[in-house]
Amino acid sequence: MPLPGADDKQPIEHGHGRRIGWIIAAVQSIAIAAAWLAYVIAAGNDAQPAAVRACEDVMRKEVVNPATARFSDVRWFDDLNGDGRSKVSGNIDSQNQLGAVVRATFTCQVDNPPHGDLSVVSGEITGPGGTLTGK
């Protein structure tokens, strides 16, 4: 004779608990591997942030109101042509003479020697007022 209240309980199946444990362990392992890969990619080349900063510094000086310059969608390409130069491109928003915020696109070529300082070789801003080429 069953105990009172025992008829509404289901038996515990032990196989499902182990399977869920393996699934959780696999998901955690994948998450750890993805985080490690993202870290390696981001930290793998110190020239990337330096090239981006160098280009942004030069481009900031070229707009009408440098203090208002904000960069977005910035991309860095390392040595596309095999000439040791990186390319940086993106958008720059800044205020014009009337105080209106305008968006322009920019590109820079950055000399990236194996040992030594980075230098911006050329730069270009293209916006509503035309194209400004410098350096």
- H or E element, residue 21: helix 14-43
The pLDDT value recorded for residue 89 is 94
* Token digits of residue 47: 């020239």
Average pLDDT score, the chain: 78
**55-113 pLDDT per residue, tens:** 999 999 989 999 999 999 999 988 777 777 889 999 999 999 899 999 999 999 988 77
The share of the chain scoring above pLDDT 70, in percent, equals 70
